[in-house]
Amino acid sequence: MNIQAVKNRYDIIGNDPRLDMAISKAVQVADTDLSILITGESGVGKDVFSQIVHDNSSRKHKSLVAVNCGAIPEGTIESELFGHIKGSFTGADKDRKGYFEEASGGTIFLDEVGELPLNMQVKLLRVLENGEIIPVGSSQARKVDVRVVAATNVDILSAVRQGRFREDLFYRLNQISVSIPPLRERKGDIYLLFRKFSSDVAEKYGMPPLRLTADAHDYLESYPWYGNIRELKNITEQIAVLETERNITLTILRNYLVDVASETMPALVQQGAAAISDRELLLKALSMGQMITEMRDELNHLRQVVSQLAGGIPPADNITSQTPDFNSISFPAANTNELKVITPYPAHENPVLPNTQVEAKTEWGDAEVVDDEPLSLTTREKLAIRKALDKRGGKRKLAAQDLGISERTLYRKIKEYGIE
């Protein structure tokens, strides 16, 4: 049987060379008893390949039993696969054959075999090696003659390395490997499938088939299709049933493809500042807000310590630690050693020493002392830091503890003020 005949028989659409290779391999090994492992993402049609293998084998007149290993509860999977005898557990009121006995003489398709628990992997290995099963509650092995075709959508080699899948079972299942490419790697087949599904719906419900505009056609082929053929079929059927307009534009198509993250879709390359995404800006703003909040809390504490060391100046207790207003935060002025700090009270209410002459400094609310001994916040901070360092013999960690600030903040202040 040639490849095109197989495609026609199983309604397979596509001309991708890797798809043709997978079909050819499945047909070639069908009439053997070698175990086959079919790999591919969810929705690529792995079940169709199990049917191809069975129908082209000498077992085609016997049963093909399909089992979804990921859908069976762990507590009952052994009974489902190998059967049980009466009284083996609560509710076992009679003997029951498992899937392997039901498929004896034919083929069993173990879909999502990577989801099997480790204890069941050991028992499956025994079946593959000896052709024997032991029903739950029995001590007698039973012979079965079954061709095993398995499939998985997980990276099975990675699962082996992580200890989630037995290496010996992998090699026993993987006597023949058939890999099915994802739809996004078969771009030339996407429109063919869309047209086929559209035609099927039109014929079934008596409506005109869908047509795509040029930009919608390009977008359809650029879409990643993580659900593969199953997703494309569902989307096509939705559009065909819900849209009264048969000429599908890019705008209409996008209404049905909004669930995929924008970074996976085709996009214009941006340069410079325009390339920063909203998400990146938000993360930067949150990070900056956290840093500013920490700095302000430390500065507030430092103000209190400086006030006490400078002679009892009332501390700025009313400065809160709420999230800063990004429109009112100031940073170190360019080319200066002066840190401007906004305070929650106007300039005329700023606490100062008695009998000192002051004048308004800036709109930030600080006041500059013009007496012979300047006592601005910057100067008082320098003095306090120097006194603490002198007291502790230059040991920054101890000096920071005396000042009630972190060593990191003290280091930053020393560098900022040029303190030797």
CB count in 10 Å sphere of residue 415: 10
Tens digits of residue pLDDT in 327-361: 444 444 444 444 444 444 444 444 444 444 444 44
Burial string for 352-365 (b: 16+ CB within 10 Å, else e) reads eeeeeebeeeeeeb
Q: Are 311 and 353 in contact (CB under 8 A)?
A: yes
The whole-number pLDDT of residue 350 equals 45
At 180, the amino acid letter reads I
Domain assignments of the chain as residue spans, ordered by start: 3-181, 185-264, 291-417
Q: What's phi and psi for 155, nearest 5 deg?
A: -75, 95
pLDDT at 336: 46
End-to-end CA distance of the chain: 88
> Among 34, 26, 27, which Cα is nearest to 172's?
34
Q: Is the pLDDT of residue 288 over 50?
A: yes
Average pLDDT, the chain: 80
Q: Is the CATH code 3.40.50.300 the one for domain 3-181?
A: yes
- pLDDT for the residue 396: 82
* pLDDT tens sequence across 225-248: 999 999 999 999 999 999 999 999
Which segment of 7-11, 26-30, 133-137, 365-369 scores lowest on mean pLDDT?
365-369
Q: Is pLDDT above 60 for 39?
A: yes
Fold type of domain 185-264: Helicase, Ruva Protein; domain 3 (1.10.8)
Query: b vs e for 161-195, b when ≥16 Cβ sit within 10 Å of the residue's Cβ?
Result: eeebbbeebbebbbebebebbbbbebeebbeebbb
User: Is the confidence at residue 206, as pLDDT, over 60?
Assistant: yes
Neighbours of 252 (CB within 10 A): 17
- Write down the pLDDT at residue 47: 95
Specify the residue for token string 């006041």.
Answer: 367
Beta bridge partners of 68: 111
Residue 313 tokens read as 């100046």
**What is the C-alpha to C-alpha distance for residues 193 and 233, in angstroms, rounded to an integer?**
8
Provide the total of helices (H) and of strands (E) in the chain, helices listed first: 16, 11
| pLDDT band, very low/low/confident/very high, at 324 (cuts 50, 70, 90) | very low
Q: What is the value of pTM for the model shown?
A: 0.61
Over residues 282-301, the mean pLDDT reads: 61
Q: Look at residue 290 in the predicted model and tell me its pLDDT.
A: 57
pLDDT, one tens digit per residue, over 56-93 is: 999 999 999 999 999 999 889 999 999 999 988 888 88
- CA distance linking residue 392 with residue 253, whole number of Å: 71
Q: Which amino acid is at 176?
A: I
Largest Cα–Cα distance in the chain? 109
* Contact status, residue 102 vs residue 140, Cβ threshold 8 Å: no
Single-letter residue type at 16:
D
Contact 53, 149 (CB under 8 A): yes
Distance in angstroms (rounded) separating the CA atoms of residues 318 and 315: 9
Average pLDDT over every residue of 356-375? 43
